Structure 1
Amino acid sequence: MRFGMPWPGAGVAREAEQAGVGAFCTGDFADHDAYTTLAEIVANSERALVGPAIAYAFARTPYAHATAMRQLHAKAPGRLFLGLGTAAFRVNRDWFGVPADRPVARAAETVEAVRAWLHAENGEKVRYSGEFYAIDADVRAPVLGRLEIPVLLAAFNARMAVTAGRVADGVIGHGLFTRSWWADVVRPAVERGSGGRSRTEQGWIITAVDDAAPERAIADARRMIAFYLTVKTYDPFVAHHGWEDPVARLRAAFRTGDTDGMATAVTDEMLTEIAVCGTTADATELLRRRAGSLPRDVGYFAPPSFLVGHKRRAAYARSSLALIGEA
């Protein structure tokens, strides 16, 4: 397994590659674009795997995803992967103004349609026919050629994990994932979908290390966990672990804007099962104990982002470099 991190900026990234970080990822949100950031990553990294983990699948057409990757491939051949995620129902409907129904079936077709563009050969039509996408493109310029860029799918619950196993080259796990959620839910579902074929695993690890202020790092990790768990999409995960009572408390605190109350509601068990945080020594021990709960191929040391500024996130990224090789 190689360790990676969400893109920390060029300065930290140079240190990170020298320290052994083997992958950088980026994502989408209202103030940053996955592919714009990916271009920056390509220009400021040398050996690491790089790609979105994740890009919003339905915010762009399959054509747009594929052409961005095709252009970046020219600068980083053999280093790219494409991670797609569906985003929440309301984000698709209210932010992007796109259909948000049947996200599992729609995600499966998106992967297949993107791959049709990535595998397109010069002189041949690009064709795909499905329920959500119909492509019949006659590109009369010699700009194509088959690219074997892995397409991964973010999957939290079992139905999406089965779909990732069936149509994608791998799965991207959420920062909430625990040993049990990987072992009992996601991996078996991916295997059912894949029919035993090999699939890549990537995933996020909520990581906050600060030897000078470990209590603040732990509080930041608790808030990040709480913020994620305000979303009902994760209710099967909550029920699986028997965490309904603390999650009810943190959601009640969230509704009133009580962020300290949200963090307090996250139990020690939840923190230990999900996050790597505290001092370097604490985080090293937690990482070793979590060895079986980490993604098999790439694990991203992901600093908390909820109510955490850019400077502190960069400091957490630097501190996490001390953990490489400890798991």
Structure 2
Amino acid sequence: MVGARRWTVNRWGITIPFFDRAMADSRDLVAELPGLGYTDAWSAEVSGTDGFVPLALAAGWAPELRLGTAIVPVSTRGPGLLAMSAATMADVAPGRFVLGIGSSSPAIVERWNAGTFVKPYARTRDTLRFLRTAMTGEKVTEQYETFSVTGFRLDRAPKVPPKIMLAALRPRMLHLAASEADGAITNWLSPGDVRTVRAEIGEDTELAARLFVCVTEDTDRVMDLGRRMLAAYLTVPVYAAFHEWLGRGETLRPMQEAWAAGDRRAALKAIPDEVVNDLIVHGDAATCRARIREYVDNGLTTPVLAPIPAGEVTVPEAVRALAPAAS
């Protein structure tokens, strides 16, 4: 039975770039990560850096780390370009690169990148299947449901094809991640929510999640910052649906209604303290580490920490204080 198993920490990740500095200014801190006990560094791709360049830099600065994208969207690049980017990164860090892909959101795909956000499940599935074939160096000519490819072949296929993980927030995508990919990546969930997600993918599928962490005892500041972060995410349809599935639909409805009406102040006020406490790790370093362990005990195999500047503790101090070596 899922949940009866005692999970152990096999991996301990960090998000790069760090929130307080450019990637070009992060060399020393990235190089320090393996000695602190971190095993992974994961990038994201929204409206800051792209998903690949920070990992390419980290590959040279800390060659012990596994490197992953969490995530790059499947609809902001063509399939061939995505394959080339992934193959290049796999060549830079052979056996150490994980390609995390996902459907993303209409804002990122359509409003920011002039793409088309249609059939997100099918587009993600088709891209996964295309990449599996392309990474072998085989020529791909295929009519998929959401796109077609004719005669594409990587000139430089990676010697070690990367593992591919899927961003997955609800059962259908979670089942695809478990059945056809190498793992699932999720976001904005509580330790208890991990059990719900884990039940959909079984015990043996890797599950990674970014955990936003504020190492501070200034609760008021955390609540203010947390509400702003949560309102920006949980009004996005895919995340609203995710939390509806997790059981927070009624709790979050007043916030979502106020946001839709354009009343941002009311939307922020409508987010209960308990939701912030559920979804953001905060407190002193020991409290934060204990909370992260709750996620792991409930089935999270790869916590990916994202330390947020929120008080007197600097990001480098938080990175060191949250590390396995600090326990």
Shorter-chain TM-score range: 0.7 to 0.9
Counterparts in 2 of 1:59-208, with a 5 A limit? 59-120=76-137, 125-137=139-151, 143-144=156-157, 147-174=160-187, 176-184=188-196, 186-191=197-202, 198-208=204-214
- In the alignment, structure 1 residue 210 sits paired with structure 2 residue 216: yes
Within the candidate set 28, 31, 35, 1:18 is matched to 35
Moved more, 313-322 or 149-158: 313-322
Question: Are the equivalent residues in 1 in contact too, given 2:170–2:245 (CA < 8 A)?
Answer: no
- CA gap of 1:115–1:318, structure 2 versus 1, over 3 A, is farther
Distance 1:323 1:109, change over 3 A: same
One-letter amino acid matched to 1:315 = T
The residue aligned with 1:256 is 263
- Aligned pairs, number: 307
Inter-CA distance 17–217: structure 2 relative to 1 (3 Å threshold): farther
Equivalence for 1:4: 13
Q: Which has the higher contact order (CA 8 A, sep 6+)?
A: 2
TM-score by length of 2: 0.81
1:45 paired residue among 62, 86, 90 = 62
1:205 counterpart SS class: strand
Partner of 1:300: 304
> Structure 1 287/263 Cα, relative in aligned 2: closer, same or farther at 3 Å?
farther
> 1 CA distance for matches of 2:46 and 2:292?
28
Unaligned 5+ residue runs, structure 1?
A: none
1:280 corresponds to 2:285: yes
Are the structure 2 counterparts of residues 145 and 290 from structure 1 closer, same or farther at C-alpha, using a change threshold of 3 Å?
A: closer
How far off its partner does 1:204 sit?
A: 0.9
- Post-superposition shift, 1:156? 0.7
**SS of 2:95's equivalent?**
coil
Task: Give the C-alpha shift of residue 139 in structure 1.
Answer: 5.0
Unaligned runs of 5+ in 2: 1-9, 19-25
Structure 1 residue 130 displacement after superposition: 1.8
User: How far is the alpha carbon of 1:138 from its aligned partner?
Assistant: 6.4
Q: Distance in 1 between matches of 2:315 and 2:114?
A: 35
TM-score normalised to structure 1 length: 0.81
Give CA-to-partner distance per residue, 1:194-236, whole Å, 9 cap, x none.
Answer: xx8x43211111211136x564345323432333212232334
Instruction: Report percent identity of matched pairs.
Output: 22
1:68-96 residue CA offsets vs partner (Å, 9 max, x unmatched): 22222232111100000111134323333
Q: Matches of 1:219 and 1:317 in 2, distance apart?
A: 22
